[in-house]
Amino acid sequence: MFTARTVRLLVPSAAALWTSALGLWGLSRQNSVWRDEAATWQVARRSTAEIVQLLGNVDVVHGLYYLLMHGLFELFGPGTAVLRLPSVAATAVAAACVAALGHRLAGPWAGLGGGVALGMLPAVQFYLQEGRPYALVAAGAGVSTLLLVTLLEGRGRTVHWIAYSGTVALCGLLNWLSLMILPAHLLTLLLSGRNGRSGRSGHDLGGPGEPGEPGGRGGSGGSAGLGKRWAAAAVAAVACVLPLVLFSRSQSAQVSWIPPLTWHMLIGPAVLLAVGGAGALLDRRSPHRPDGPSAAAVGLPLLVVPHLGLVGLSLIQPLFLDRYVLFSLLGLALLIGAAIGVAVRTVSRRLPRAGWWLLPAIVAVAAVALLPQALAKRSPASRVDDVLAAADDVRRLKRPGDAVLFFPSARRDTRLVSPDAFSGLEDIALARTPERSGTLKGVEAEPARIRAAMLTHRRILLVTDTPAVSRPPATERDRMKRSVLRNHFRIVTDTQTRGRRVTLYERRV
Average confidence (pLDDT) over 169-194: 94
DSSP H or E run through 283: helix 267-284
Across 481-500, b (16+ Cβ under 10 Å) vs e yields: bbebbeeebeeeeebbbbbb
DSSP-derived secondary structure letter, 32? -
Q: Give 202 or 303, the one with higher predicted confidence.
A: 303
pLDDT in tens, 305-334: 999 999 999 999 999 999 999 999 999 999
pLDDT at 353: 82
SS3 289: coil
**Cβ count within 10 A of residue 255:** 14
The order of strands in the sheet holding 403-407 is 426-427, 403-407, 459-465, 500-507, 489-497
pLDDT at 205: 45
How many percent of the chain have pLDDT more than 90?
Answer: 85
Q: Say if residues 107 and 341 touch (Cβ distance below 8 Å).
A: yes
pLDDT in tens, 116-158: 999 999 999 999 999 999 999 999 999 999 999 999 988 889 9
pLDDT in tens, 199-254: 444 444 444 543 433 334 334 456 778 999 999 999 999 999 999 999 999 999 89
| 463 vs 410: CA distance, rounded Å | 10
Which residues on adjacent β-strands are paired with residue 210? 207
- Please check the confidence at residue 349 and state whether its pLDDT lies above 70: yes
Q: Say if residues 200 and 269 touch (Cβ distance below 8 Å).
A: no
What average pLDDT is seen over the chain?
A: 92
pLDDT at 287: 62
- Please check the confidence at residue 196 and state whether its pLDDT lies above 50: no
**Cβ count within 10 A of residue 204:** 18
pLDDT at 290: 61
**What distances in angstroms separate CA 81 from CA 77, 344, 368, 393, one per listed residue?**
10, 38, 27, 22
Q: Give 198 or 485, the one with higher predicted confidence.
A: 485
From the list 129, 131, 141, 130, the residue with the least C-alpha distance to 172 is 141
**Cβ count within 10 A of residue 501:** 22
Helix-strand-coil split of the chain, %, nearest 5: 65, 5, 25
pLDDT in tens, 408-437: 999 999 999 999 999 999 999 999 999 999
DSSP H or E run through 491: strand 489-497
Q: How buried is 466 (Cβ within 10 angstroms: 0-12 exposed, 13-18 middle, 19+ buried)?
A: middle
Confidence of residue 267 (pLDDT cuts 50, 70, 90): very high
Q: How buried is 249 (Cβ within 10 angstroms: 0-12 exposed, 13-18 middle, 19+ buried)?
A: exposed
**CA 8 to chain centroid:** 27
pLDDT at 206: 41
**What distances in angstroms separate CA 349 from CA 39, 277, 393, one per listed residue?**
54, 25, 62
Query: Using alpha carbons only, what angle is made at residue 83 by residues 77 and 88, rounded to the nearest 5 degrees?
Result: 130
pLDDT in tens, 65-111: 999 999 999 999 999 999 999 999 999 999 999 999 999 999 999 99
Q: Give 283 or 272, the one with higher predicted confidence.
A: 272
**Cβ count within 10 A of residue 410:** 15
- 481: phi then psi, degrees, rounded to nearest 5: -55, -50
Confidence of residue 453 (pLDDT cuts 50, 70, 90): very high
SS3 360: helix
Confidence of residue 28 (pLDDT cuts 50, 70, 90): very high
pLDDT at 283: 85
Report strand pairing: 403-407 vs 426-427.
parallel
| 15 vs 228: CA distance, rounded Å | 34
| 359 vs 370: CA distance, rounded Å | 16
Contacts of 448 (CB under 8 A, 6+ apart): none
Confidence of residue 285 (pLDDT cuts 50, 70, 90): low
Report strand pairing: 459-465 vs 500-507.
antiparallel
| 165 vs 232: CA distance, rounded Å | 9
- Please check the confidence at residue 2 and state whether its pLDDT lies above 90: no
Helix intervals (H) in 77-206:
80-106, 108-120, 122-128, 134-152, 158-174, 181-192
Angle separating helix axes 80-106 and 108-120, nearest 10 degrees: 150
Q: Say if residues 94 and 283 touch (Cβ distance below 8 Å).
A: no
| 385 vs 78: CA distance, rounded Å | 19
Sign of CA dihedral 344, 121, 280, 7: positive
Average confidence (pLDDT) over 438-462: 97
pLDDT at 154: 85
| 34 vs 55: CA distance, rounded Å | 21
